[in-house]
Amino acid sequence: MHELGIVFNIIDTVEDIAKEQNLTEVSSVTLQVGEVSTVIPHYLEDCWKWAVKKTEILKECKLIHEPIEAITFCEDCGKTYRTVDFGKTCPHCGSEHTYLVVGNEVQIKEIEAC
């Protein structure tokens, strides 16, 4: 379960930012989670609820996650398509000369402080 490692990393980052900004409490953290990032939102939420209880500044902090749709680009025809629907094969031209453009990331979008 790599979600726990991700949660610890996010908590460390948010705590560092909170210290830099002299924040005493963080009420929510919004994460953008890529559709093909292999992160399971339910596991992420469970790990978050457990881990924030062990911190001072994030004890009551809510985790919000927003999905990022996975999009793949075809080098042969220059078009993009939904990765989850078609995988590596371009639905426009049938090429496999494709690469993921977006949808594999996990990133902090917003930190809301009280």
Write out the H or E segment, with its range, that includes residue 41: helix 41-52
Domain with residue 94: its CATH number is: 3.30.2320.80
Q: What distance separates the 2 farthest-apart alpha carbons in the chain? A: 54
Print pLDDT tens along the chain (114 aa). Answer: 589 999 999 999 999 999 999 999 999 999 999 999 999 999 999 999 999 999 999 999 999 999 999 999 999 999 999 999 999 999 999 999 999 999 999 999 999 997
Beta strands in 1-114 (DSSP E): 26-34, 62-68, 71-74, 80-82, 98-102, 106-113
Cα 20 from chain centroid (whole Å): 23
Q: Which domain holds residue 51?
A: 3-15+24-113
The answer to whether 32 touches 105, Cβ cutoff 8 Å, is yes
The region that residue 68 occupies, defined by phi over 0 for left and psi between -120 and 50 for alpha, beta otherwise, is beta
What per-residue confidence (pLDDT) applies to 114?
A: 79
Distance in angstroms (rounded) separating the CA atoms of residues 13 and 54 = 15
What pTM, to 2 d.p., does this model score? 0.85
Please give the tally of structural domains in the chain.
Answer: 1
Distance in angstroms (rounded) separating the CA atoms of residues 92 and 74 = 9
What type of residue is 26?
Answer: V
What per-residue confidence (pLDDT) applies to 1?
A: 53
